[in-house]
Each structure stands twice: as structure tokens, then as C-alpha cells.
Amino acid sequence: MASSLLNGAEYAGLMRRVSPKGLGFGGSGLGGKNLNLRRLALVSPARIGVVKRAVPRCSVSASRPASQPRFIQHKKEAFWFYRFLSIVYDHIINPGHWTEDMRDDALEPADLYDRNMVVVDVGGGTGFTTLGIVKHVDAKNVTILDQSPHQLAKARQKEPLKECKIIEGDAEDLPFKTDYADRYISAGSIEYWPDPQRGIREAYRVLKLGGKACLIGPVYPTFWLSRFFADAWMLFPKEEEYIEWFEKAGFKDIQLKRIGPKWYRGVRRHGLIMGCSVTGVKPASGDSPLQLGPKAEDVSKPVNPFVFLLRFLLGAMAATYYVLVPIYMWLKDQIVPKGRPI
């Protein structure tokens, strides 16, 4: 599996090495214009090795701001999307985008070293990531939260998760008290949150002093066609956006670890649905220093059913492209001799 860990300073090192045209291996389209590099320190020589192999490969353009939701970036659309996807989720999404070794790699920075830790898995879905968590933490200490009862029904069927608490809820408005958990984990869910900053602020709030958030999510493509479908489907944040959201929420010791399916050989130009694992530590007890206004989306408000259906169908069609990408990359991996870039 292709993975590399970047702390803040590696970001600085990386940005010094990146041509304005962006990155190939290890890159996810860092334009760098708006990067907040103030807190970036220390570069690990071993990791610079990864960065040095970076070659410009395709152009970078600015992604649409996170505040402009895509077709499936509303809670209602995500609800219906998973009403159907939950039937095949474990059979389609995991082999193509989120394998067991990727999951274990992504969870490693979460530092799950004690079986008694209190852990919340937000957007836990069918419990695939939770299966990785309960290898390290007793299931009775783990809560799986998701807005989709259909996804959660699949999690309930999994024997190792029998003792987990399983609840319906919204990532942007968590039903946990402030300073509740030792670890906040969320894998592959942020892309459906209409207001990602609000979800990350909630991560901060529910953690105890010294607790760690580990958020695993997509990275933005640099190849034009992939960008088109990514933008139509859901939120594919840029790496620097994750770091900025974590910083604004109040987290310290923020690190970003790049992950990806091993048959991609490190290619990130098509974006990745599970492309990075971002961690941050809560430095003080209590609520986040970040104050936000009311929630952007009121799910109780009626929506025009035709507009809803159109958005849903267009979003689902765009998502199909991302079923094909891992197959295309797998074929390339089979055809192109090992050791050569694909």
C-alpha cells in the first residue's frame, strides 16, 4: 500500500519541492496558494524520500469551495444514496477503495493502544472501519454513529461488533457530551457533510483533553475528467483544507498520512475516496474555540421532489465513474511492468 505520513513541516518541505503544476506520486493537487503553513515543523528524512519521487504530472486547478455542496452532499441525498448502496457496500466499496490493509494503515496514527479507550466511530456505516478499531479496543467501549439506519443494520449483523453501541445521529450535531471520548474516528463520511468544518468542530468538542481525532477521507483529483465527476458527486477536499479545518477547530499536532490502494502504485491524480488519514490532538478540555452560526442544512425543510430526484440521479451517475477508476487502475497495474509509473 502506498502511504506516507506528513506532519506540518513535511507540508512545508513538500511545498518547496512541488512545481506549480502539481504532483504525481504522493501528490493530491496541492496548489499551495491558500496553505496555512504556520504550524509546520520538522521533516523526517525517511519521508522526504517519498516526496523526492514526486514528479509533475498534471495541472492543478482550484476545487469548488467546500461551502458549495455537490449533488450528493446533502443529508437527504446521502440518506437515499446509502439506502441503496448499503445493499452492496461491503462488496463493492471495500475491495475497490477501502481494503483491510488500507484501513489498518489509516488507523495506525489514531494510536489505539489501550483496550479501555472510549471510541466513537462517526459515519461508521456497515462497521468496516469499526472492525479495525475493535482489534485494539474492547467493543463495549465503541459507539458507531451513522445517519443511515440501512448501513447500521449491516453493522449490527457483524459478530465482532455485537457489543458496540450503535446509534443513529448526525456527524454535525453529535449526541455525546463535551469531553466524552478518548478517540474520535470517522472514515469516508466527511464527503457527505454539507458543512465539514462543523463536523470537525464536533470532533473536537466530544474528545477529552489529550484525545485524538482521526479523520479518513477523500483527496481531490488533478486529472480533468476525474475532477469533473468528483465535483459532480460529492466533496473531495484538498489536503490543505483538512489541515485548515483541524486548525480552526483548535486541534494541535496535526498530521496527514497519505493512503491508497496498493495497485494504484501511489497515483493520486484521479483522486481517492479514501486518500488520507488526518489526526489532531485536543489541547484543552471544553468546547472548541471556533464559534459557528446555525446549521447550514435543515433536514426537516421540504425539498422540491423533482430537484431532489435530479440531483440524486446526477450524483449517482457521477459516482459510477469512481466504480470504474479502481478497475482501470488495477488493469494498468497488471499490464505495466512493475517498477514503472502508471
**CA proximity to 213, closest of 203, 225, 226:** 203
Least distance between ligand SAM and beta carbon 289 (Å): 23
d(CA 151, CA 98): 16
Least distance between ligand SAM and beta carbon 173 (Å): 8
Least distance between ligand SAM and beta carbon 62 (Å): 25
Among 43, 119, 187, 230, binds ligand SAM (CB under 6 A): 187
Q: Which lies closer to ligand SAM via its Cβ, residue 50 or residue 102?
A: 102
Measured from the Cβ of residue 317, the count of other Cβ atoms closer than 10 Å reads 13
Q: Which lies closer to ligand SAM via its Cβ, residue 90 or residue 253?
A: 90
d(CA 263, CA 251): 33
Least distance between ligand SAM and beta carbon 198 (Å): 10
Query: Length of the chain, please?
Result: 342
Using CB under 6 A as the binding rule, whether residue 146 contacts ligand SAM is answered as yes
**CA proximity to 2, closest of 332, 215, 342, 258:** 258
Least distance between ligand SAM and beta carbon 16 (Å): 34
Least distance between ligand SAM and beta carbon 154 (Å): 9
Q: Which lies closer to ligand SAM via its Cβ, residue 78 or residue 112?
A: 78
Q: Which lies closer to ligand SAM via its Cβ, residue 48 or residue 180?
A: 180
Among 25, 176, 192, 204, binds ligand SAM (CB under 6 A): 192
> Which residue minimizes CB distance to ligand SAM?
125
Among 141, 151, 226, 288, binds ligand SAM (CB under 6 A): 151
Least distance between ligand SAM and beta carbon 255 (Å): 20
Question: Cell numbers at residue 88, please?
Answer: 452492496
Question: Cell numbers at residue 113, please?
Answer: 493502544
Handedness of CA 180, 100, 322, 217 (dihedral sign): positive
Q: Which lies closer to ligand SAM via its Cβ, residue 150 or residue 227?
A: 150
Query: How does 191-206 read in b/e, with b if 16+ C-beta sit within 10 Å?
Result: bbbbbbbbbbbbbbbb
d(CA 128, CA 126): 6
Among 57, 70, 74, 75, binds ligand SAM (CB under 6 A): 75
Backbone conformation region of residue 179, classed left if phi is above 0, alpha if psi is from -120 to 50, else beta: left
Least distance between ligand SAM and beta carbon 54 (Å): 28
Residue type, 151: Q
Where would I find the beta strands (DSSP E) of the chain?
4-7, 119-122, 142-146, 165-168, 181-187, 207-219, 252-258, 272-281
Among 77, 170, 231, 247, binds ligand SAM (CB under 6 A): 170
Question: Cell numbers at residue 120, please?
Answer: 466513537
Using CB under 6 A as the binding rule, whether residue 183 contacts ligand SAM is answered as no
**Count of residues in contact with ligand SAM, rule CB under 6 A:** 22
**CA proximity to 123, closest of 42, 31, 185:** 185
Among 4, 7, 63, 189, binds ligand SAM (CB under 6 A): 189
d(CA 215, CA 279): 6
Instruction: Mark out the alpha helices in 159-304 (DSSP H runs).
Output: 196-206, 224-233, 239-249
Using CB under 6 A as the binding rule, whether residue 80 contacts ligand SAM is answered as no
Q: What track of x and - describes contact with ligand SAM for positions 102 through 131 (by CB under 6 A)?
A: ---------------------xxxx-xx--
Using CB under 6 A as the binding rule, whether residue 315 contacts ligand SAM is answered as no
Using CB under 6 A as the binding rule, whether residue 171 contacts ligand SAM is answered as yes
Interface with ligand SAM by CB under 6 A: which residues? 75, 78, 82, 98, 123-126, 128-129, 146-148, 151, 170-172, 187-189, 192-193
